[in-house]
Structure 1
């Protein structure tokens, strides 16, 4: 069934309709676990499910597999995201043919982001320039077979010249044959309503589906709104700032905020909502429960009779919650949610903006000085870090300065913590009444010459483990088991299992390595290729190593830093 028909039925019946968005996991085990999660969430009877399409076809196989599984195995109507980025017409034909063969009848037509290694979006040879070209082509080739959705931006597309210009581009996509509009995330209901009114005044009559994203963690929320340039009311920012150290409270706040926003929109006659799940299920379930769409505690006996019974409640809760707090790029690589919005900023900007932030380095000493200025708070961001250092860094700030002055350019760090109260303002996290622990670790870029001497020192301390990789993929480690997981942050709380939000393992280190060196390239590409700055950044990128070092004796708080400075 076409999604537009379902959306119109919900509007006519004045009945709330919801749908889920997923993204292709970064690891094979993450894909397997997402399939399990899809099966559970399909039993909540969403109107449809969708899966994103990575820039430059980077996730094509996994995207198609996820969409086909939802459509064929679980019988849920599926919306396939499809972009123009790096896609020629022949490839687009292949994708559309595969979608039709899998029974997928709904396409979200997008221009898409620039593929990896490219500063700006450019069309493929024999390809399309804009989403409207893709809409027209699908209509020309398939007539009315596919239902086509397009993206809408309540706060304006980042590339638009003005709000009016953006609206006219949206109207042109509808006139070309699009059936409905899916919006980017927003947190200001008034902004959305004003934008929707402008759409209607321009003659856009198709269904408009608000995109909702429950807040995952405080850091990820800040990263998302910076990346999308999203307006957030001051009251929300202030309320979040007061609870930012408690991941559980932040997630619950995100649930309550989503429910409140949906209820406001329902009063305005809006009934269709698209939830970006970030491949997690607990927050989405809580939202639906509070809106009365799911029973407070779903068990096998409360499910509709035609659906497969669920596992016992205790097993279901574990399946839902085991990866709720991935906490950055060193979450569990087995999680379907691993890696989303947790890696580098990917700050694509003009040369003027890059030089304003990071200048024109021409020597390694210039790069060292830039890292020093960031640690001191005089530079607001780095290509690998889009926000200032957190308060826990205060205890090791001078040490980090000394380490960077030795030529170790740090992009991640944490001090050792041995049983601090979970409400500690510097290192605390999680619910009150618990205790938190951390192993000290450092992550940094370093030259081949310095790496050799450093690893010799690491081998002398039996408590030290490390991973090191360069851009070419050469790998060094003293961890013998390739599947070993090292918990470097954990917490003990009343009435809960031990929570381990931060794991360092080969899988997530390798995934981050890919992103980290790509960010070197993106920084380099913001300068003229022949300039001394671009040449320096290219040389460093091609010769340096990314290293992660952990000292596993968390009771010796200075051991790792003494090793680095010895």
Structure 2
């Protein structure tokens, strides 16, 4: 991956479930800051394993160590160790004073100083390194053998993975990556493999499909960062379900992450709100402007915006970093549309699930051969009058628990501040029950500041100052309550029944 900060491009790549993202490094660290920024975002925000290039070009040892220490502190473990190209304007690589002469030196140094912390990748050249390729574009047999021997020395020094230079001739790669390397390492090839390869050796499509890729599924209802510091994280509050980047940014400073069961979320504390939580890609800002900046003459016009999003008529939402409706939302989207039209403006929801297969394309997570469960959940804004009416209607529904809070912190709830409620869990072979999503009152009080701020920062401010629509949104922000509502009866409950006749 080159020096691009296009979040839309990242999302398109992530959709294909890449094993890792490769991020280039400018000669002498000329793009060091950008490389480190992209690697950190890819690892922590986009949640894809990152591999950062590191070269010897114009890099003294201290500068190399500074780069390694920085990525280590960001939880990045993978490095592509390269000699590097000559600096711009030079024809040949020249070792600088206090630097390394080749990738082998760099591999030796990383292993010597950092032990097994880093996974080290090195470059392999199916057609030989450019330095040993002669004028006719082909390396001599001696040069090729020498290059292959050097590659083995890098592996012996501690490299874990070989990544190849670009090639177009698959026969060359097959000889390099399979026949030559297995011969060089004296690896015995089972006869069934050679027999399977022989009839398809000239068939490019068959070669590309020789190894069938494993179907990848999500480990949790949310995507966990590839950061090594978060490898044990397996539970989150539900409130940031549609704003995962914001949640990650506000918890980056934690020394440890909740695992097993949600503990005291007040320690460590969430990071403060900053401009970062309200930044958005240009394309998303344009879509929000197209879909949400319309004349608002009454609160009913606000209700209609929310309803249209729930019905799939709008693709953007100020309270979501995601694109359009999520698969499980579509299960209940018409019911959501109905309550939004009544003035219960939903920003988060999930349907009840009772033992759905874990590979379900709609609600599944955790891989195959398991079963997942969910309590029905709604999170919405509403006026104080509507909240009072809803609370009265909740009294006969003993399975319902709720929390409501205003922008100024007025708190109304039928749960205590320490009642943490698991609303998603899964059962898998040879594992304890996994409960990756909870409703946590302490986190809700943190989230409410962000949720209310979105009214102004992500919607009202899209209108000019003094615009009546902007004023209407600011009035809603200052007078509405944010409500979290759970139906704990995930077998027979009907969360939407409480909204009838309201």
TM-score (norm 2): 0.54
Aligned length: 313
Contact 1:345–1:385 (Cα < 8 Å) also in 2:
no
> What is the match of residue 313 of structure 2?
378
The residue number in structure 1 matching 2:278 is 346
Secondary structure in structure 1 of the residue aligned to 2:290: helix
CA distance in 1, matches of 2:430, 2:408: 47
Residue from 278, 292, 296 that aligns with 1:358:
292
Q: 2:304 matched to 1:369?
A: yes
Q: How does 1:390-429 map to 2 (within 5 A)?
A: 390-429=326-365
The corresponding residue for 1:155 is 4
CA distance in 2, matches of 1:269, 1:434: 52
User: How far apart in 2 are the matches of 1:328 and 1:484?
Assistant: 14
Indicate the residue corresponding to 2:474 in structure 1. Answer: 538
In 2, the alpha carbon distance for the partners of 1:205 and 1:527 equals 38
- Counterpart residue number, 1:213: 40
Alignment partners' CA distance in 2, 1:541 and 1:208 = 37
Aligned counterpart for 1:452 among listed residues 360, 369, 388: 388
CA RMSD, Structure 1 to Structure 2 (Å): 4.1
Alignment of 1:464-543 (within 5 A): 464-479=400-415, 481-522=416-457, 523-543=459-479
Q: What SS does the corresponding residue of 2:328 show, helix, strand or coil?
A: helix
**1:413 Cα deviation after fit:** 0.3
1:378 is displaced (CA, Å) by: 2.5
Once the two structures are TM-superposed, the CA of residue 277 in structure 1 deviates from its matched residue by 7.1
**What is the CA deviation profile of residues 331-371 of structure 1, one whole-angstrom value per residue up to 9, with x for unaligned ones?**
84357596899x99625699977532312323212111111
8 Å contact from structure 2 (residues 403, 484) kept in 1? yes
Structure 1 pair 429/364, CA: closer, same or farther in 2 (3 Å)?
same
**Alignment-derived partner of residue 195 in structure 2:** none
After superposition, the C-alpha distances for 1:429-480 in whole angstroms (9 at most, x for unaligned) are 113222111000100011111111101111221111000011111000001x
Aligned equivalent of 1:443: 379
**Alpha-carbon distance in 1 for matches of 2:413, 2:473:** 26
| Cα distance between partner residues in 2 of 1:265 and 1:206 | 9
Secondary structure of the corresponding residue to residue 401 of structure 2: strand
Structure 1, residues 474-523: CA drift from partner, whole Å, max 9, x if none? 000001x3111100011122222221111112111111100011111212
Residues 536 and 265 (structure 1 numbering): CA distance in 2 closer, same or farther, change over 3 Å?
same
1:529 deviates by 2.4
* 1:212-231 equivalent positions in 2, closer than 5 A: 212-213=39-40, 221=46
The answer to whether 1:564 aligns with 2:489 is no
Change (3 A) 1:205 1:437: closer
Q: Confirm or deny: 8 A CA contact 1:344 1:519 kept in the other structure.
A: no
* Alignment match, 1:323: 233
Q: Aligned partners of 2:308 and 2:73: how far apart in 1?
A: 37
| Residues 375 and 488 in structure 2, CA contact (< 8 A), matched pair in contact too | yes
Could you tell me how far apart the structure 2 residues matched to 1:337 and 1:496 are? 30
Alpha-carbon distance change, 473 to 433 in structure 1, aligned in 2, over 3 angstroms: same
Q: Which runs of 5+ in 2 are unaligned?
A: 8-19, 81-106, 118-228, 241-257
Matches of 1:207 and 1:399, distance apart in 2: 48
Q: Distance in 2 between matches of 1:530 and 1:439?
A: 43
Aligned partners of 1:339, 1:329: CA distance in 2, in Å? 15
Q: Secondary structure at the match of 1:391?
A: coil
Closer/same/farther in 2, CA of residues 434 and 375 from structure 1, 3 Å limit: same
Tell which structure's C-alpha radius of gyration is larger. 2
- d(CA) in 2 for partners of 1:392, 1:269: 52
1:346·1:384 contact (CA, 8 Å) conserved in 2?
no
Q: Is the 8 A contact 2:425 2:434 kept in 1?
A: yes
TM-score, with normalisation over the residues of structure 1?
A: 0.48
CA 1:457/1:373 → structure 2, altered by over 3 Å: closer, same or farther?
A: same
Counterpart of 1:519 in 2: which secondary structure? helix
> Partners of 1:447 and 1:546 in 2: how far apart?
9
The 3 A distance-change label for structure 1 pair 538 and 327 is: closer
Q: Structure 1 residues 436, 400: closer, same or farther in 2, change over 3 A?
A: same
Change (3 A) 1:377 1:275: farther
> 1:492 touches 1:498 (CA, 8 Å); kept in 2?
yes
How far apart are the structure 1 equivalents of 2:369 and 2:267?
27
CA distance in structure 2 between the aligned counterparts of 1:352 and 1:329, rounded to whole angstroms: 25
Contact 2:293/2:462, CA 8 A, preserved across alignment: no
Aligned equivalents of 1:325, 1:550: Cα separation in 2: 18
